[in-house]
Amino acid sequence: MRSHLSGALLGYAADVLFGDPRRGHPVAVFGSFATRLERRLWRDDRAAGAVFTAVCVGGAALAGAAAQRALRARPLPRAALTAAAAWAVLGGTSLAREAEAVGAALAAGDLDAARERLPHLCGRDPQALDADGIARAVVESVAENTSDAVVGALVWGAVAGVPGLVGFRAANTLDAMVGHRSPRHLRFGWSAARLDDVAGWPGARLSGLLAVAIGPDRAGAVRAWRRDAGRHPSPNAGVVEAAFAGALGVRLGGTLSYGGRIEHRPVLNAAGRAVEVADINRAVRLSRRVGALALAVTLAGRAAATSPRGGSTRKAGGRDVV
């Protein structure tokens, strides 16, 4: 327990202080491996996609489990392993930096710079968006990735340690690569998309609850969640985006473009106002607070789940055993 506690705290602090590793990022290495494997395994059917998903995500989780098991009797190296894994999979600081960079470009009136920077944050077609559309896309991305890049990883880290951290990030990365509804990946990416839905379920709900608890408008967050989350095409993004929309008092959703495809998504928190550039920084502040509180909640939950029941002292043969 202490190894995970100290390791998770150090990894979270490293992400806050430094953001993502500049070179040799493990997620990028995983992505390169998955790309090469896809070329070998791709078939236009779900079975091939299931094998691909099992090899990629299962392999990552098993590697984490093997490393953790090898260090089970060495608390300090095990804590260092947990810290390294947490730093590698958490992306809250990079998320905030990219969002703030787009916001700064919009605030300066430099729409071209904002469009150029937006693909670092999400997959929208930037040329199809005006300033208001870019601001809305950023707020939606901050909300969704608060769960995907921070809270979900913390939840699975608390549940399963290093294998949970790397397995969750592998599933989330694979969904971003092949889980979308393009003609090539409609069937092949089905397993990756469904696995990401399952893995993301607890983190999205915790993110929504924390946004309700510490957001500027608690009642608005609850209303938007209850009324609109289920209308979103994603069972997880809908929860977080609706809770953020209500908490910030803004209106999200509507028409958007991905890779030339036009989507008409339900409006979230229709009673809210249109997103403004200043709302980007408000969303980032809420995201950071949700992430910090999620760290505290998940570590407290792991401590409660692993602590001895009935107290730390018991009687054995007339003597206290501690």
Q: Is residue 316 domain-resident?
A: no
Percent of the chain with pLDDT over 90: 83
Q: Is residue 312 domain-resident?
A: no
pLDDT for the residue numbered 258: 66
Q: Is 123 helix (H, G, I), strand (E, B) or coil?
A: coil
Q: Is residue 118 domain-resident?
A: yes
Per-residue pLDDT reduced to its tens digit, 251-306:
999 877 666 667 778 999 999 999 999 999 999 999 999 999 999 999 999 999 98
Dist. CA 322–CA 314, nearest whole Å: 7
CB crowding 80-103: b at 16 or more within 10 Å, else e: bbbbbbbbbbbbbbbbbebbbbbb
Q: Is residue 317 domain-resident?
A: no
pLDDT for the residue numbered 132: 92
Instruction: Please tell me the total number of residues recorded for the chain in this structure.
Output: 322
Q: Which helix (H) or strand (E) holds 262?
A: strand 261-268
Residue (of 137, 111, 98, 117) closest to 275 by Cα position: 137
CA atoms within 13 A on the CB side of 311: 6
**Could you state, in chain order, the average pLDDT of each consecutive group of 10 residues for the chain (322 residues)?**
91 95 86 96 96 98 97 94 96 97 97 95 86 95 97 98 98 94 92 97 98 98 97 95 98 78 84 97 98 98 81 41 32
Domain of residue 189, residue span: 1-304
Residue (of 2, 166, 142, 131) closest to 78 by Cα position: 2
Q: Domains in the chain: how many in total?
A: 1
Q: Is residue 200 domain-resident?
A: yes
pLDDT for the residue numbered 314: 40
Question: Model pTM?
Answer: 0.92
* DSSP secondary structure of 201-220: HHHHHHHHHHHHHHSS-HHH
pLDDT for the residue numbered 21: 80
Q: Is residue 318 domain-resident?
A: no
Both tokens of 112, joined, read: 């071209």
| Average per-residue pLDDT for the chain | 92
Both tokens of 321, joined, read: 């055993």
Q: Is residue 211 domain-resident?
A: yes
Dist. CA 207–CA 112, nearest whole Å: 32
Q: What is the CA radius of gyration of the chain?
A: 21
Residue (of 132, 136, 173, 215) closest to 33 by Cα position: 173
Which residues make beta-bridge pairs with 297? none
Dist. CA 134–CA 120, nearest whole Å: 13
Q: Is residue 139 domain-resident?
A: yes
Contact 274, 252 (CB under 8 A): no
Residue (of 161, 243, 230, 156) closest to 200 by Cα position: 156
